[in-house]
Amino acid sequence: MQDGAPARRVAVPLRISQRAATARAGASVKTLCGETMGTRWSVRLVVAESQDLASLDAEIASALDGVIAEMSTWEPGSAISRFNDAPGGTWHVLPANFYRVLEYALAVARDTEGAFDPTVGRLVALWGFGVGARGQGVPTPDDLSAARADCGWSRIELDKGRRAALQPGGVRLDLSSVAKGFAVDRVAAVVRESGVESFLVEIGGELRGEGVKPDGMPWWVALERPRGSVSGPAPIADIVVVLNGLSVATSGSAEHFYTIDGRTFSHTIDPRTGMPVAHDLVSVSVLHRECMHADALATALSVLGPDEGMAHALRLGLAARFVSTASGGYRERLTPQLAAMLA
C-alpha cells in the first residue's frame, strides 16, 4: 500500500460453496499456463503433489483452441469469420458453443436496447481497433454512415431448432467482449470434469474461482482500477474479492485509446451512435457466477455510462463497481449488492 492510500477492502460472497470450502491435507497448488486469444491464460489447481497434469493441460489447450476456431475474428477460417464473409440472405448452422454465446450476446443487446451489440465489428474497425482496423483517425461522415448501416443486433435472426443464424448481409460479428468470459467458463468446466474442485482460472484479466487453497484460505483477487487512482484528491482503496463460486470481469477505456489534436478516442464504441464513448466512466467491474455474463455485462455498463449503467446494474441486481474521473482524480460507486459483500 502506498503512503496516504486508504486501507484495502475485502469483498466476501454472501453465499459460500461448502462443497469445496475446506482445506485438503496433502494437497498443493499447481499452475498450468499458456497463450490464447492474444493474451495469457493460467489455471491454479489444488491437487495432490504427485498428480500428473499433462492430460488436463492438453484438455484445457484443446478447449481454448476450440473457442478460437469458432469465435476468433483473427482467424480467417474460424466459424465466425466464415459467417462474416458469407453472402447476405444465407443461413448458417453454427457450432454449439458459438450459437450459445451469440444467443446470449443478442439477449444482452436486446436488454440494453443496443448499448451492447455483437454486430459492431465494422464500427470497431472503422475507428482503428480490432480486426480489419483501417488505422486510427476520425472517420468521414459517409464512412461512419455506411458502417452503421451494416450493424444492428436486430438484423440477426436465429433458428434455435436448427442452431442456425441468418447473415442478413454486411454484418460482421465481434464477440470479443463475451467470448473471453465464455472461455474462462469453458476451462472451469474442463477442470471440474477432471475431478478438481478448487481452482482459479484467468484469461487476460477475466477470472473465475472455486473452492479454497490447501490451507483453507480463499482465492484473493483485486478488482482492476485505473492506474494512479490512489494519487487523486479522493484516493480509491483496492477491493480484494474472495472468488468462491464467482467470476469477475472488468471493462474500461483508461488504457485503450488514442488522441488526435487533443481529443481522446476510446476503444469502447457505443453502437447506438457509432461513436467512441465520451462520458467520464473509465472502469466497470462486474461479479457474477458465470464469467461470460460478467464479461458482457461489464462491457454493456461501460457503454451505458455512469448513470444509465448504474441504473441498469440496479435493475439486474448486479454486484458492480464503477470508477469515473472526477476533479483530477477518480470517484467510485458501488452497487448495493457489491457494498453488501464488503467485510
CATH code for position 85: 1.10.3980.10
How many percent of the chain have pLDDT more than 70?
87
Domain, as residue range, for 162: 79-167
> Is 56 part of any domain?
no
> Is 268 part of any domain?
no
Q: Which of 25-29, 108-112, 172-176, 234-238 has the least mean pLDDT?
A: 234-238
Q: Which of 90-104, 116-130, 246-260, 264-278 has the least mean pLDDT?
A: 246-260
How confident is the model over 283-287, as a mean pLDDT?
95
- pLDDT band at 236, cuts 50/70/90? confident
How confident is the model over 185-201, as a mean pLDDT?
97
- pLDDT band at 263, cuts 50/70/90? low
What single string gives the DSSP state of each residue in 309-336?
A: HHHHHHHHT-EEEEEEEETTEEEEEE-H
Amino acid at 34: G
CA 225 to CA 178: how far, in whole Å?
20
pLDDT of amino acid 121: 93
Question: Which of 279, 97, 280 is closest to 187 using CA atoms?
Answer: 97
For residue range 40-80, what is the model confidence (pLDDT) as tens digits? 999 999 999 999 999 999 999 999 999 999 999 999 999 99
Give me the number of domains the chain comprises: 1
CA 284 to CA 253: how far, in whole Å?
10
- pLDDT band at 209, cuts 50/70/90? very high
**Does 279 have pLDDT greater than 90?**
no
How many percent of the chain have pLDDT more than 90?
72
**Top-confidence residue, 273 or 265:** 273
Let me know how long the chain is: 343
> Is 216 part of any domain?
no
**Does 164 have pLDDT greater than 70?**
yes
pLDDT of amino acid 327: 75
For residue range 6-47, what is the model confidence (pLDDT) as tens digits? 668 999 988 776 555 555 667 999 999 999 999 999 999 999
Contacts of 54 (CB under 8 A, 6+ apart): none
**Does 136 have pLDDT greater than 50?**
yes
How confident is the model over 295-317, as a mean pLDDT?
97
Q: How far is CA 271 from CA 117, 151, 182, 230, 265, in A?
A: 6, 8, 22, 32, 15
pLDDT of amino acid 1: 43
pLDDT of amino acid 17: 64
> Is 248 part of any domain?
no
Cβ contact 309:336 at 8 Å: no
Q: How far is CA 333 from CA 88, 221, 225, 320, in A?
A: 44, 19, 12, 8
pLDDT of amino acid 230: 45
- pLDDT band at 262, cuts 50/70/90? low
Strand pairing report for 9-11 and 239-242 = parallel
| 3 state SS of 263 | strand
> Is 338 part of any domain?
no
Cβ contact 147:130 at 8 Å: no
> Is 120 part of any domain?
yes
Look-up: residue for cell 483508461? 254
Mean pLDDT, the chain, integer: 89
> Is 229 part of any domain?
no
> Is 84 part of any domain?
yes
